[in-house]
Structure 1
Amino acid sequence: MALSSSCWKYLVLTFNVLFAMSAVALFGISGFLLYRMFIYRHFIGVNVEYPAILLLMMAIITCSIAWIGWRTAKSMHHIHVVMVYLLSDPTKYKSYAGTLIVLVVVIEFSCFVWAMVEWDNIEIDIKSTMMNYFMETSERKDPNSADSLRWDKLHVKFECCGVSGPSDYTSTGHVPFSCCGQGPLDSLHKPYTADCSTLYQRGCGKQLHEYAKKQLLYVAMAALTASILQVRT
């Protein structure tokens, strides 16, 4: 080989540091986006979260590969350094390790495609999920239940009411105070109390649809960026 074992070692160590940095960044971004969707999982459904979950798993796997490469390169053995080099170079398709890296990149790109497919079909899924959850909450007729409080928080957060608007509550006989804006909560976590002279007229379905589409778009862009950067690395 033209380069000494020591040169190979530091070359591989540098690669693994860069590889690990990209994985840590991906882990943070995907974890944050997953959290932003997870807190509204009762309204948007779990299907929307799957691309972010898969992307988070790829970040963990990438971190593991970088850690193994780092530990191997630190061993100082020439044969190990060569193995790490093969592991670190995704263009070496004939090597098992190179194929592993390519597989990670392909799956990350698949996350991009999956997220865009979900982005395109999310409106129907969210509306159906929200309507089902709204009916379940209404049937319980308990304003202090965990489900009712989730609707209260959703109303206040997005300044909306029900799925399509205040008319959704016609069958229940009353509109929750949270549809008027945030008021003080008592010690028993009863519904929000406020001057209900003006109701939010827009429904939460459209607001949550736009919110979820934005998160999915961020997931798609993160997956695409990660796959491109790791190939170029």
Structure 2
Amino acid sequence: MALSSSCWKYLVLTFNVLFAMSAVALFGISGFLLYRMFIYRHFIGVNVEYPAILLLMMAIITCSVAWIGWRTTKSMHHIHVVMAGILIVLVVIIEFSCFVWAMVDWDNIEIDIKSTMTNYFMETSEIKDPNSPDTLRWDKLHVKFECCGVSGPSDYTSTGHVPFSCCGQGPLDSLHKPYTADCSTLYQRGCGKQLHEYAKTHLLYVAMAALTASILQSTGIFCTFFLANAILVRRRASIRNSTSIRESTFAAPDDSLLSPTAPATLPKF
């Protein structure tokens, strides 16, 4: 049993190292995906970013759980190892919930993005300053996705002018030059569909990262609880051996009075 518990000990220690490494990888992936969606938060809304935020937080928590698992495994205390296993279970459950959340958002994102973009367009369409932050956001969006407005150039009919960024021109270089080029060909597609596909792709990446992490990290649940069981079995075996030794010691008869050197008769007083 001692060999078995030792093997499980080193296996769980190895898992905790890999657990921490997966947390670092998850932190980088979720942080990158969160950044990619955050830069378009005015168009897609913040609700789309919540699964990535949760995944980023879980990456930080996972590092702490890996450290706790390492310490408890080295101590070989049964209750502490069980508690570490429970923490791993909670991490895996939350990461799987993050996967489900991202997939639900992925399925309903089209309506949310179109509503958010339409409201933002109505709020900023009357701005005349070409260098205002809102105008520059629309310009960058137009050039990045080669689109115009929410559903097309017709969105700017009410404003009386179409920005030059709708044909890939505008104050987007390092000097932020004013509009000087003559726009002859407009992008006919709207940005709503392009941004919808962009957000869906990144949400799918978030979901796949959460699912992969939950599946890989779930292996630690079995290793940790097998170690806890091995510790318990070894402790019970140790208790049985100690009890057997004590019982054999007290049950041994004292034959000293029957030895040949013992007096034949008891002394008289």
Shorter-chain TM-score: which interval?
0.7 to 0.9
User: Displacement of 1:173 after TM fit?
Assistant: 1.2
User: Displacement of 1:22 after TM fit?
Assistant: 1.3
Matched-pair contact (CA < 8 Å) for 2:51–2:98: yes
Matched-pair contact (CA < 8 Å) for 2:127–2:135: no
Q: How many residues align?
A: 219
Whole-Å separation in 2 of the counterparts to 1:228 and 1:48 = 23
The alpha-carbon distance between structure 1 residues 40 and 14, as it changes in their structure 2 partners (threshold 3 A), is same
The alpha-carbon distance between structure 1 residues 55 and 135, as it changes in their structure 2 partners (threshold 3 A), is same
DSSP-derived class of the 1:139 partner: coil
The alpha-carbon distance between structure 1 residues 37 and 99, as it changes in their structure 2 partners (threshold 3 A), is same
User: Displacement of 1:162 after TM fit?
Assistant: 0.5
Matched-pair contact (CA < 8 Å) for 1:178–1:191: no
Whole-Å separation in 1 of the counterparts to 2:155 and 2:184 = 18
Identity %: 94
Whole-Å separation in 1 of the counterparts to 2:85 and 2:80 = 15
Whole-Å separation in 1 of the counterparts to 2:179 and 2:49 = 29
Where in structure 1 are there 5+ consecutive unaligned residues? 84-96
User: Displacement of 1:190 after TM fit?
Assistant: 5.4
Mapping of 1:4-23 within 5 angstroms? 10-23=10-23
Q: Identify the residue that residue 31 of structure 1 maps to in structure 2.
A: 31
Matched-pair contact (CA < 8 Å) for 1:44–1:125: yes
- Per-residue CA deviation, residues 21-59 of structure 1 (Å, 9 max, x unaligned), is 111111111111111100100000000000111111111
Whole-Å separation in 2 of the counterparts to 1:213 and 1:168 = 24
User: Displacement of 1:68 after TM fit?
Assistant: 2.8
User: Displacement of 1:10 after TM fit?
Assistant: 3.4
Whole-Å separation in 2 of the counterparts to 1:35 and 1:185 = 20
- Per-residue CA deviation, residues 136-163 of structure 1 (Å, 9 max, x unaligned), is 1113332221000000000000000000
- Per-residue CA deviation, residues 83-108 of structure 1 (Å, 9 max, x unaligned), is 7xxxxxxxxxxxxx322211111111
- Per-residue CA deviation, residues 170-192 of structure 1 (Å, 9 max, x unaligned), is 11111111111135657873555
DSSP-derived class of the 1:4 partner: helix
Where in structure 2 are there 5+ consecutive unaligned residues? 218-267
The alpha-carbon distance between structure 1 residues 185 and 179, as it changes in their structure 2 partners (threshold 3 A), is same
The alpha-carbon distance between structure 1 residues 193 and 10, as it changes in their structure 2 partners (threshold 3 A), is farther
DSSP-derived class of the 2:186 partner: coil
User: Displacement of 1:69 after TM fit?
Assistant: 2.8
The alpha-carbon distance between structure 1 residues 191 and 133, as it changes in their structure 2 partners (threshold 3 A), is farther
Matched-pair contact (CA < 8 Å) for 1:165–1:203: yes
The alpha-carbon distance between structure 1 residues 72 and 30, as it changes in their structure 2 partners (threshold 3 A), is same
Matched-pair contact (CA < 8 Å) for 1:177–1:191: no
- Choose 1 or 2 for highest CA Rg: 2
Alignment RMSD: 8.0
